[in-house]
């Protein structure tokens, strides 16, 4: 992560809230993400495991968090790689014990070379082992196995659901981080809309996104951006971004900045030539009407599953008006495979936070502090029209706050902005 501005008391509070869910006699382990190789001797840019970051703020690889209860008191140990002068020459300075303690709020910091001895000491006294680790982290799996070999009476449990229950409710610090990512995403939209015109390549729009993100100190993209013109707008996760944009094309953008580890996620659909055709406008307004109605029902007590069900009913009515389906199609449809899925294949909402598709249960009622997206869409491949409009929504005590309400989405706003820029 390029930036990490959260204070140690945030991470200390998260750990304290986690231990309240753990039974005495439990040892908890959280592992950092392993290095991922790109090709040859080149690595992918490192991104910390979200659970590990949430609990410690540590963004360095090969780190381990250990929590255990002794004499009714929870103890914390953070293990980090011992700084190596040769590594520092190539990759920069590694964390010292004091710096790791300052970031995480953990007083006891040890080097990972002492992890084995610590586990040997604690395993015989442990009744349960709760673990959060990336599934592809082979070495972490071996550490877990070593504990079970020492004490085969230990009950192995998954720590991730307990952390997820905490992560799904955003603190004031997290909401501030998300709002900053939204602000940067908004700025990128304002910048890229100036260069959209026929003849440009999709990747030129993507380039403006990352330029704006980095110039604002963001970590980069929260996910691979979608810059999909023409028929590409009908591919939900199109990320090639290589096509030349043509006069008359629709352009579907789905992108978001990540800063301090927290994501934004926005979709907007624009006319490449600055003017929606009559049919494009008809489809666009159908999606926009649905999104506006959906935002109004997002509040504490309703679940994402219930939202999805209601949106599909609204979408069926819009699709009838668009001539895509008939009432007879709806009356005769398979309830498990609605006819509307031909043109609206995905859900309307997902949780968002440290992961763009963040932890959370779509069946459980929404609560204040949760952040979700609202992104209905209609995709008509035979007409080369794909429209998605997506805003990020914060659940509040009395309803919600649309974090992207200020980013243009009305046809008149979009066309005015594009034509102003084309006239220059």
| 52-82 residue pLDDT tens | 999 999 999 999 999 999 888 999 999 999 9
Residue 18: per-residue pLDDT: 97
Task: Tell me the pLDDT band of 135, cut-offs 50, 70 and 90.
Answer: confident
Question: 3-class secondary structure for the chain?
Answer: CCCCCCCHHHHHHHHHHHHCCCCCCEEEEEECCCCCEEECCEECCCCCCHHHHHHHCCCCCCCEEEEEEECCEEEEEEEECCCCHHHHHHHCCCCCHHHHHHHHCCCEEEEHHHHHHHHHHHHHHCCEEEEECCCCCHHHHHHHHHHHHHCCCCEEEECHHHHHHHHCCCCHHHHHHHHHHHHHHHHHHHHHCCCCCCCCEHHHHHHHHHHHHHHCCCCEECCCCEEEEHHHHHCCCCCCCCCECCCCCEEEEEECEEECCEECCEEEEEECCCCCCHHHHHHHHHHHHHHHHHHHHCCCCCEHHHHHHHHHHHHHHHHHHCCCCCHHHHHCCECCECHHHHCCCCCCCCECCCCCCCCCCCCCECCCCCEEEECCEEEEHHHCEEEECEEEEEECCCCEEECCCCCCCCHHHHHHHHHHHHHC
Q: Is the pLDDT of residue 2 over 80?
A: no
Instruction: Give the pLDDT mean for 342-346.
Output: 97
Q: Is the pLDDT of residue 314 over 90?
A: yes
Residue 420: per-residue pLDDT: 84
Q: Is the pLDDT of residue 3 over 80?
A: no
Instruction: Give the pLDDT mean for 318-342.
Output: 94
Is 423 or 140 the better-scoring residue by pLDDT?
140
Is 271 or 3 the better-scoring residue by pLDDT?
271
Residue 422: per-residue pLDDT: 65
| 81-99 residue pLDDT tens | 999 999 999 989 999 999 9
Residue 421: per-residue pLDDT: 67
Q: Is the pLDDT of residue 424 over 70?
A: no
Domains present along the chain, CATH in parentheses: 8-168 (3.40.350.10), 172-420 (3.90.230.10)
Q: Which residues are catalytic?
A: 41, 237, 254, 265, 346, 350, 357, 375, 379, 388, 390
- Mean pLDDT over all residues of the chain? 95
| 279-307 residue pLDDT tens | 999 999 999 999 999 999 999 999 999 99
Task: Tell me the pLDDT band of 396, cut-offs 50, 70 and 90.
Answer: very high
Residue 137: per-residue pLDDT: 83
Residue 4: per-residue pLDDT: 81
């Amino acid at each position: 992560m390029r930036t990490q501005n959260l204070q140690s008391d945030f991470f200390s509070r998260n750990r304290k809230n986690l231990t309240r869910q753990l039974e005495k006699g439990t040892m908890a382990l959280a592992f950092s993400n392993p290095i991922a190789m790109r090709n040859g001797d080149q690595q992918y840019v490192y991104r910390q495991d979200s659970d590990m970051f949430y609990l410690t703020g540590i963004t360095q690889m090969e780190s381990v968090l250990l929590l255990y209860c002794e004499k009714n008191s929870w103890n914390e140990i953070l293990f980090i790689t011992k700084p190596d002068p040769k590594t520092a020459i190539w990759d920069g300075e590694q964390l010292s014990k004091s710096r790791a303690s300052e970031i995480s709020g953990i007083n006891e910091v040890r080097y990972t070379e002492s992890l084995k001895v610590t586990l040997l000491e604690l395993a015989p006294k442990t009744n349960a082992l709760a673990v959060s680790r990336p599934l592809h982290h082979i070495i972490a799996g071996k550490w877990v196995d070593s504990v079970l070999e020492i004490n085969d009476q230990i009950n192995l449990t998954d720590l991730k659901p307990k952390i997820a229950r905490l992560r799904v409710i955003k603190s004031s610090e997290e909401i501030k981080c998300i709002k900053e990512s939204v602000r940067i995403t908004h700025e990128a939209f304002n910048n890229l809309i100036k260069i959209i015109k026929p003849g440009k390549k999709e990747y030129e729009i993507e380039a403006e996104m990352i330029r704006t993100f980095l110039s604002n100190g963001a970590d980069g993209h929260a996910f691979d951006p979608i810059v999909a013109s023409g028929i590409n707008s009908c591919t939900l996760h199109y990320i090639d971004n290589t096509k030349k944009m043509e006069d008359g094309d629709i352009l579907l953008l789905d992108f978001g900045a990540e800063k301090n580890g927290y994501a934004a996620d926005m979709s907007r659909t624009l006319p490449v030539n600055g003017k929606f055709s009559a049919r494009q406008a008809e489809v666009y307004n159908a999606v926009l009407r649905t999104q506006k109605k959906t935002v109004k029902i997002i509040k504490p007590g309703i679940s994402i599953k219930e939202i999805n069900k209601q949106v599909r009913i609204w979408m069926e009515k819009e699709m009838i008006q668009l001539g895509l389906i008939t009432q007879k199609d709806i009356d005769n449809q398979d309830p498990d495979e609605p006819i509307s899925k031909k043109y609206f294949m995905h859900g309307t909402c997902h949780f968002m936070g440290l992961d763009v598709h963040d932890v959370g249960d779509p069946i459980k009622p929404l609560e204040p502090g949760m952040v979700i997206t609202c992104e209905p869409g209609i995709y008509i491949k035979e007409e080369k029209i794909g429209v998605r409009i997506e805003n990020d929504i914060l659940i509040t005590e009395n309803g919600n706050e649309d974090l992207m309400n200020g980013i243009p989405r009305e046809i008149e706003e979009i066309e005015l902005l594009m034509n102003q820029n084309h006239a220059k």
